[in-house]
Structure 1
Amino acid sequence: MSSKRDLIIQAAKQTFLKQGFEATSMDELALVANVARRTIYNQFDSKEELFNAVIIDIWKNVKPYRPEQNDEAQHNPSKGLFNLGMAIANYWSPPIVRSFLKLVIVEGDRFPDLPRNFYRLGKEPMIQSIFDYLTQMKHSHLLKIDDIGLATQQFIGMINEPLIGLGLIILSDEPDMQRKEHVVQAAVQCFINGYQP
């Protein structure tokens, strides 16, 4: 059985996506969640705090791949990068994640904490995992990388652009597994060719 907090978060997901952050009122959230307005404030100090709880909830089942937990990845950058790439490809799979990304982009000018928190609570751990892995590959002399931050962005871009670029403009169907694997394998090969010692 869901707690009142969970019911409020689920209602907030629907309402934020339907109305947007600015236009959503706590009264409306209370109506959709079928709770008293006071109940929402007992759980969340502000609409911003509730929005952050929604972001945490939509990211909770998306875990960054940890290459340090795989022995083969420690000695084989192609293997580690492929697994990291598949984690990237699957990161944006849930349509609700892409919908909220569009929402924070649209409302980010008026509420700059929205995109910052969306990044911090969701995407940042994935980026850090790639950065750390590339640092390790550099120190192990398995890849020759001068600018690890740039290399991290390049690797993510080679996967995100073909898989979700259009989906940020038009919410399209999620690419199937065969397409994801093809894009990731091509990105890994290109990356290895560019950064091999």
Structure 2
Amino acid sequence: MNQPQRQTDRKREAILQAAIEEFRQHGFDATSMDKIAATAAVSKRTVYNHFASKDELFSAILLQLWQSAATHEALTYAPEVRLQQQLEDFLYRKMVMLSDPNFLDLSRVAVAATIHTPDRARDMVEKLGKNEPTIVTWIKAAQNDGKLIAADPLLMADMLVGQLKAMAFWPQVAMGQPILNQQQQLALIQTATRMFLGYYGTPSTL
């Protein structure tokens, strides 16, 4: 009774991986459900049994992309550990994800597709908005502990992560710039952390 379910799961995963490959190589518009079915070695009917449309399939991939990001960004506030160390550890994990070539490739496809179809981007934002990033929860906990000043946690999170994306994500996605080397990554992480704590930290932070 469990075997058919496992086979169904395997087929769904094969379809997702095939779609990722096709989208990466050819972009959203040039990719068809026929191509995805061929790459996944399943029938077109099987693809449609799992995903009603190419848009739905693409949304599933974007959701998978976000879930991968959320896994890398897992963070729990530890009052006994210095904020600088906690933030640097978090930003390092974030940097690992942002520097992954597969993640960058799929991000390029996602950006291109959502630019041309704003409705698709809006739907994804609504889905992802239901899940609060762990960094926002962490910031709230640090504020409650008196380690960060009272300010908008969402804005604070955007300011922190935005510093990484401004140099280690968007230039690579939009302009094809090379991935930062390890020394550049560490320097950016340390600078972003110090700037964040310098502005939002309280006297008890350091």
CA RMSD of aligned residues (A): 2.8
1:133 aligns with 2:142: no
Classify 1:65/1:189 alpha carbon distance in 2 versus 1 (closer, same or farther; 3 Å).
same
**Following TM superposition, by how much is the alpha carbon of 1:98 offset from its aligned partner in structure 2, in angstroms?**
1.8
Give the TM-score of the pair, scaled to structure 2.
0.78
Alignment equivalent of 1:182, drawn from 183, 187, 195: 187
Greater CA drift, 54-63 or 22-31: 54-63
- 8 Å CA contact 1:65–1:83 kept in 2: the answer is no
Q: Which residue identity lines up with residue 30 of structure 1 in the other structure?
A: A
- 8 Å CA contact 2:99–2:168 kept in 1: the answer is no
CA offsets per residue over residues 143-179 of structure 1, 9 Å max, x none?
1132222211111112221222310223344323332
For the residues of structure 2 that align with 1:92 and 1:123, how far apart are their CA atoms? 20
**Following TM superposition, by how much is the alpha carbon of 1:61 offset from its aligned partner in structure 2, in angstroms?**
4.7
SS at match of 1:23: coil
CA offsets per residue over residues 37-78 of structure 1, 9 Å max, x none?
11211222222222233334445554122223x4644xx221
**Following TM superposition, by how much is the alpha carbon of 1:117 offset from its aligned partner in structure 2, in angstroms?**
6.0
Q: Which residue pairs with 1:79 in the alignment? A: 85
SS at match of 1:40: helix
Alignment equivalent of 1:93, drawn from 80, 88, 99: 99
Unaligned 5+ residue runs, structure 1? none
Alignment equivalent of 2:59, drawn from 52, 61, 64: 52
Q: Which residue pairs with 1:67 in the alignment? A: 76
CA offsets per residue over residues 90-147 of structure 1, 9 Å max, x none?
221222222222222222244335435666777986x721111111111111111322
Alignment equivalent of 2:156, drawn from 127, 151, 154: 151
Identity across matched positions, percent: 24
For the residues of structure 1 that align with 2:191 and 2:140, how far apart are their CA atoms? 21
**Following TM superposition, by how much is the alpha carbon of 1:188 offset from its aligned partner in structure 2, in angstroms?**
0.8
Q: Which residue identity lines up with residue 67 of structure 1 in the other structure?
A: T
- 8 Å CA contact 2:114–2:121 kept in 1: the answer is yes
For the residues of structure 2 that align with 1:82 and 1:120, how far apart are their CA atoms? 29
Greater CA drift, 47-56 or 34-43: 47-56
Unaligned 5+ residue runs, structure 2? 1-6
1:170 aligns with 2:175: yes
Give the TM-score of the pair, scaled to structure 1.
0.81
Classify 1:194/1:60 alpha carbon distance in 2 versus 1 (closer, same or farther; 3 Å).
closer
- For these two proteins, the number of residue pairs brought into alignment is 193
Alignment equivalent of 2:46, drawn from 22, 39, 50: 39
1:29 aligns with 2:36: yes
